Amino acid sequence: MAKVKVAVVGYGVIGQRLADGVEKQEDMKLLGIVDVAPTLSIRALYDSDSPYDVYVVNDSMRGAFEAEGIPIKGNLNDILSEADIVLDATPAGVGAKNKELYLKAKKKAIFQGGEKDEVADVFFHGYANYEKGIGADYLKLTSCNTTGFIRAVDCIDKEVGVERVVVTIIRRSADPGDIHRGVVDLALVEKVPNHQAVDLMKIMPHIDATGALVHVPTTHGHIITLLVTPKKKISVDDALKLFEAHPRIKVVEIEKGFNSNAALFRYARDRGSKRADMYEIALFKETLVLSGNNLFFTISVPQEAVVTPETIDGIRASLKLQTNWKEAVSLTNKYLKME
Amino acid sequence: MAKVKVAVVGYGVIGQRLADGVEKQEDMKLLGIVDVAPTLSIRALYDSDSPYDVYVVNDSMRGAFEAEGIPIKGNLNDILSEADIVLDATPAGVGAKNKELYLKAKKKAIFQGGEKDEVADVFFHGYANYEKGIGADYLKLTSCNTTGFIRAVDCIDKEVGVERVVVTIIRRSADPGDIHRGVVDLALVEKVPNHQAVDLMKIMPHIDATGALVHVPTTHGHIITLLVTPKKKISVDDALKLFEAHPRIKVVEIEKGFNSNAALFRYARDRGSKRADMYEIALFKETLVLSGNNLFFTISVPQEAVVTPETIDGIRASLKLQTNWKEAVSLTNKYLKME
Amino acid sequence: MAKVKVAVVGYGVIGQRLADGVEKQEDMKLLGIVDVAPTLSIRALYDSDSPYDVYVVNDSMRGAFEAEGIPIKGNLNDILSEADIVLDATPAGVGAKNKELYLKAKKKAIFQGGEKDEVADVFFHGYANYEKGIGADYLKLTSCNTTGFIRAVDCIDKEVGVERVVVTIIRRSADPGDIHRGVVDLALVEKVPNHQAVDLMKIMPHIDATGALVHVPTTHGHIITLLVTPKKKISVDDALKLFEAHPRIKVVEIEKGFNSNAALFRYARDRGSKRADMYEIALFKETLVLSGNNLFFTISVPQEAVVTPETIDGIRASLKLQTNWKEAVSLTNKYLKME
Amino acid sequence: MAKVKVAVVGYGVIGQRLADGVEKQEDMKLLGIVDVAPTLSIRALYDSDSPYDVYVVNDSMRGAFEAEGIPIKGNLNDILSEADIVLDATPAGVGAKNKELYLKAKKKAIFQGGEKDEVADVFFHGYANYEKGIGADYLKLTSCNTTGFIRAVDCIDKEVGVERVVVTIIRRSADPGDIHRGVVDLALVEKVPNHQAVDLMKIMPHIDATGALVHVPTTHGHIITLLVTPKKKISVDDALKLFEAHPRIKVVEIEKGFNSNAALFRYARDRGSKRADMYEIALFKETLVLSGNNLFFTISVPQEAVVTPETIDGIRASLKLQTNWKEAVSLTNKYLKME
């Protein structure tokens, strides 16, 4: 079977990782990446061992890349004409504009969480509502935190049902290297509910969710506490078994050194993962307890790479590569080595 | 009526504020403060407009102070002989050793949360269990976070009863100026339950509590989300009224700029409060919602000064200045201008 | 002699402190402060023991203040009609617009470092070029870092002459409570020379200066190393004596606990200074050494309050209250208790 | 020619990278690594694609590793008996104790900068004093900052001679993931001169050096400004050419996005470098200026990996693999791809 052809538009924090993720799928072909300027990420790509092909949005941008010695394979129209689907990872709001080009080129596309819901036909999560994405032309992925904690909530929901969720998100206020955002010696409190809890309810409408969001001076992943009210009581041991069996959840132990978002990042670096990335959320084993019948536990969401698997699930759904969600996510997981 | 005479032993972050708090009580007299070395805090005290009398633990320490030009009023025995009660705010573990001296001098004492429970006869909180402290010789105060969130929990508990509490504490990892602790770009996760939830159950044994604790790179106050399950349903409006009426809870609005622990600190500075201190916990109005029947809300606990009121309540209880808790806390509040 | 009447326009980080500083000058009268919205600073002012009169820029803004229960004394025209001089501490760029109003009202004004040089007739520093400001209608103050290190450079320059200066500025990336700026786990490097070195040369044109600027995740003051090449060799001891005799330089010792910007801030809090402010730069004694004939030393600049004294010097110059710089700065220092 | 056999003792931040560096040298064989407990780094090693052999210090430690499923190849004596040389990267002070074992086993060893000078016969830097290390049994490497800035100073020194150096080091206060050190909202000032300037003079005794050291809340690399007084004037352009030609210095441009330590780290991640490591110091092009005849410039020192090349140079010197420094460093550079 021919590989499906994928274009990544926007080569920032998310786009880089989507490209890497697609490259690892044996049934997909990454045509290349599209960007507007020779950023540091493009420079790093070109300096790497096996750079992807680089396209510009329009030909007027070629000069800037060529001045940096970076060869250009073509423009957006060129890559669109070849692609089966586009992964759009441009800054929030740009995707909505780009959609017109995708419509004109009659190409499917998957947008990231920064875009408004209206950009897409379906608001998508690979595990929680795969079937809604099957055959859809335009999908929007849940954002990093929502993607991450839905994995855990869905994992319990599929077994015993979930009635209610309360999350406290302790989020990084900047990405590594980011000079445009960030708080110093400050924990910024947002109004409740946060959009992540609202988004969970859009994806899993049978659940009542709310949540608080606090921005703190960190860059490596979000820490989230979840209180999950199941429909049927479940023991800590049984919940733990479910989490341990989930390919996209890595159960870690504080006493073995996995005691922070930064420890997970260091582990990924030391293990030799490209970009020190992790696709799994981590669930801290010693934080999993019962409060009455409610499960209470803490996870870490690696904001940079966490949406990669579900985005690739989206390709599978949109292009009907698999019509069974289990088969789809299993393939994604296999190629990303998350089994 | 003669003022009761109070000695403060240990003039660090907490001790300084206890001394300030006692000084403001019209029915109490601060005899002075005791420390072991001419620290920066002692230097600042001496350079202030109206320094307290300074005592050393034993006379061998006089030289170090005198070399700095700081006059010494006497030693620990001198101040003990005059005092009715001691507020011990020494580093964790030192209080237990000091207790032998207090026992020998037949003086009552109040210890802070860093000491082990065994140091005291009663584990104390001014609002939640004042009556247990009445006449007791040795009290131990709840630590800063526990002191803070018990205010809010007790406030609901007194009205409709509380069954269950789940807290997520986002704590500062260092005090301002501290060079011995602190995390950088890291959110450190502790095992669940944290000691604060356990401590709440010691003070309020009819409540089932658990909680997560995450250390972050901040210095100004802890941010805590609480999920409180009441025995009888209470509306957001009614809960808000209770909180607004509580003298030790300051309800603030995010949209008016009270959007972080640091904003509260800045407000206290700009208002001209000594040391930029706040005695109240802040409750962020726009975070108060219902999740099912559970109240969910976010508070900020100013770790440096928050235990001052409840410690002064402890003096009132231990010395039987008031045998009715409402009268006791009202006086404390009045003198601290928290009405 | 009648007190000169001063209006402060813009009640942010700097404006608050200018108002406090003027209030302390026995030969000046603070008419009030002007702002556009009931910010947290205005709220804190109103909640303080003795609030200043509040004016709005134009009457259409009264409603917003009154909704917060904050009484309004009048509008900008009202305060201008009474004032002898305006201290403009509005956000960068606004001062230039305001100048038209000051011109129309025929009022003198002093602008802060964020404005462009063109806004003023004289770029001013109380110690280094007081005489240029005498009688001038529009002054612009040097920014916080430049104000601070010029004190130290000028102090040496007045004694033995200075030929060359090289500074490395390690600056706070946000003010306390600021959510709009800040870097996390990052030290941001700017092109050399920084504007502060260039500004020094504008004020002291006989000196050749350059400097590096690095933004770091702190909020309390800037740390600066200076390498100062004197025209005539000066010993460490003699330099130290000069610094110790300077009313606006506080020589501190690392081994006594003054080991950081945050230690200085904590000291100011504990001493009971309003807002925990310091007007002095701190010079760390144990960092003062010779490298060849060059003096090398490290200072801390408290960014929030440091420009207050020199701004008040500016009032004295512009209104010709004193025509001798020594008399002028001595009075400012006396009223600010920096003797 | 047979490969020389190298053992790495201590598999922490530095040890991991020394092992990686040796592994890349075609004329060296990494026998394995030695540690005392199954740390997170060991866990990451074992979970990586091609783990190194793991040895324990003594057999009593096997159990702890085997409980984690990590196979043990042997004990310290086993690996010593095979090794030609040991790279000791144990925590400061442990190396001195280990030396007795190395002496007993008659094995050469190279220690890191945390050990006292007395542990070694020669204090070593591959570029600045290679010849002193030739044939020596025990070398101690300069620490990360000293290693880094000596590269730049030596580069100028070899061309025009250097008379004087003044450095301002803005250092990370913790390593990524470190929970035992770190400062929050604080810049900690140390006494002058710092040990790094003193160490430079030990390696390059003809130079007069001093320097300031400030600890800040970052984890990715140290930022250092250097003022270098050459014996013979050199232009910015000529200096730049020297730096650009140096294999261990990477000249980067702020305006191309290399504007911080974190940008360099991000670049290394995105380029796909293992652990996101860099061996080169970075020199920010737009910071290189003349102040009088002095060169002034800013570098970034990646503290984790920077000592790897010079440590490998040390192997070459100690084992007399090359007796000409240029040949030695060229080989190291070639295998580390720093040409």
Residue A290 in tokens: 């019962």
A187 contact D CB<8A: no
Second-level CATH architecture of C4-143+307-335: 3-Layer(aba) Sandwich (3.40)
Question: Would you call C144 a catalytic residue per the annotation?
Answer: yes
Residue B192 in 3-state DSSP? coil
Give the bridge partners for B6, in sequence order: B30, B85
Among residues A72, A80, A119, A144, which one is catalytic? A144
Q: To the nearest whole percent, how much of chain D has pLDDT over 90?
A: 99
How does pLDDT run across A162-188, given as a tens digit for each residue?
A: 999 999 999 999 999 999 999 999 999
Residue D339: pLDDT band with limits 50, 70, 90 = confident
What mean pLDDT comes out for the span D137-149?
A: 98
Beta carbon pairs, B and D, within 8 Å: 53
pLDDT in tens, B98-141: 999 999 999 999 999 999 999 999 999 999 999 999 999 999 99
Q: What ipTM score was computed for the predicted complex, to two decimals?
A: 0.96
In three-state form (DSSP H/G/I as H, E/B as E, the rest C), the secondary structure along chain D is CCCEEEEEECCCHHHHHHHHHHHCCCCEEEEEEEECCCCHHHHHHHHCCCCCCEEECCHHHHHHHHHCCCCCCEEHHHHHHHCCEEEECCCCCHHHHHHHHHHHCCCEEEECCCCCHHHCCEEECCCCCHHHHCCCCEEEECCHHHHHHHHHHHHHHHHHCEEEEEEEEEEECCCCCCCCCCCCCCCEECCCCCHHHHHHHHHCCCCEEEEEEEEECCCCCEEEEEEEEECCCCCHHHHHHHHHHCCCEEEECHHHCCCEHHHHHHHHHHHCCHHHCCCCEEEEHHHCEEECCEEEEEEEECCCCCHHHHHHHHHHHHCCCCCCHHHHHHHHHHHCCCC
| CATH tag, B4-142+306-335 | 3.40.50.720
Average pLDDT over residues B180-197: 97
Distance CA D287, CA D298 (A): 6
Contact criterion met (CB < 8 Å) for D170 and C219: no
Residue among C173, C179, C185 whose CB faces A219 most closely: C185
Cβ neighbors of D184 (< 8 A, separation 6 or more) are: A185, B172, B173, B174, B178, B182, B183, B184, B217, B218, B219, D217
**CB-based contacts of A10: which residues, under 8 Å, 6+ apart?**
A34, A35, A88, A89, A90, A91, A94, A95
The CATH code for residues C144-301 is 3.30.360.10
Chains that touch D (3 or more CB pairs under 8 A): A, B, C
Long-range contacts, stretch B94-101, CB < 8 angstroms, 24+ apart: B94/B10, B95/B10, B95/B119, B98/B9, B99/B138, B101/B76
C187, C263, C289 ranked by CB distance to D170: nearest:
C187
Interatomic CA distance for residues B147 and B127, integer angstroms? 9
Task: Copy the structure tokens of residue B271.
Answer: 């208002």
Of the candidates C193, B311, A55, the one whose C-alpha atom is nearest the C-alpha of residue D236 is C193
Written as tens digits, the pLDDT of chain C (339 aa) is: 799 999 999 999 999 999 999 999 999 999 999 999 999 999 999 999 989 999 999 999 999 999 999 999 999 999 999 999 999 999 999 999 999 999 999 999 999 999 999 999 999 999 999 999 999 999 999 999 999 999 999 999 999 999 999 999 999 999 999 999 999 999 999 999 999 999 999 999 999 999 999 999 999 999 999 999 999 999 999 999 999 999 999 999 999 999 999 999 999 999 999 999 999 999 999 999 999 999 999 999 999 999 999 999 999 999 999 999 999 999 999 999 998
Cα C40–Cα C46–Cα C52 angle in degrees, nearest 5: 115
Q: Considering the domain D4-142+307-335 in this protein, what is its CATH number?
A: 3.40.50.720
Residues of B in contact with A190 (CB under 8 A): 254
Of D266, D329, D246, D260, which Cα lies nearest the Cα of D299?
D260
Q: Is a pLDDT exceeding 90 seen at residue B1? A: no
pLDDT for C70 equals 96
Q: What is the pLDDT of residue B339?
A: 80
What's chain A's average pLDDT? Answer: 97
Helix D195-203 to helix D144-160 angle, to the nearest 10 degrees?
A: 40
Nearest to B259 among A188, A210, A288 (CB): A188
pLDDT at D55: 98
The stretches in chain A having pLDDT less than 50 are: none
Is D12 part of the contact surface with chain C (CB cutoff 8 Å)?
no
Listed by start position, the domains of chain A span 4-141+307-335, 144-301
Question: What span, in angstroms and rounded, lies between the C-alpha atoms of B266 and B262?
Answer: 6
Asked if the C-beta of C172 comes within 8 angstroms of chain A's C-beta atoms, the answer is yes
What the block records as the tokens of A177 is 């290297």
Model-level pTM?
0.97
Residue from C170, C181, C184, C186 to probe the interface with A (highest A Cβ count within 10 Å): C184
Which numeric CATH code is attached to A4-141+307-335? Answer: 3.40.50.720
- Give the whole-angstrom CA distance, residue A303 versus residue A315: 20
The Cα–Cα gap between C257 and C268 comes to: 13
Q: How many CB pairs lie under 8 A apart between chains A and D?
A: 99
Nearest chain D residue to A266 by CA distance is: D177
Q: Which amino acid is at C290?
A: L
Our CA-based measurement puts residue D310 at a distance from the nearest CA of chain C, in whole angstroms, of 26
Q: CB contact, 8 Å: B198 with chain A?
A: no
Tokens matching residue A288: 């999993």
Quick one: pLDDT at residue C339?
Answer: 80
Q: Say yes or no: B16 contacts chain C, CB-CB below 8 A.
A: yes
D213 — pLDDT class (breaks 50, 70, 90): very high
pLDDT at B62: 96
Separation between Cα atoms, residue C246 and residue C148, nearest integer Å: 12
How far apart are the C-alpha atoms of B247 and B151, rounded to whole Å? Answer: 10
Report the pLDDT value the prediction gives residue C221, as an integer from 0 to 100: 93
pLDDT score recorded for residue C237: 98
Contacts of C183 in chain A (CB under 8 A): 174, 179, 182, 184
Decide: B256 and C33 in contact? Cβ < 8 Å.
no
Q: How far apart (Å, rounded) are the C-alpha atoms in residues C319 and C139?
A: 11
Mean pLDDT of chain B: 97
Asked if B256 has any chain C CB less than 8 Å from its own CB, the reply is yes
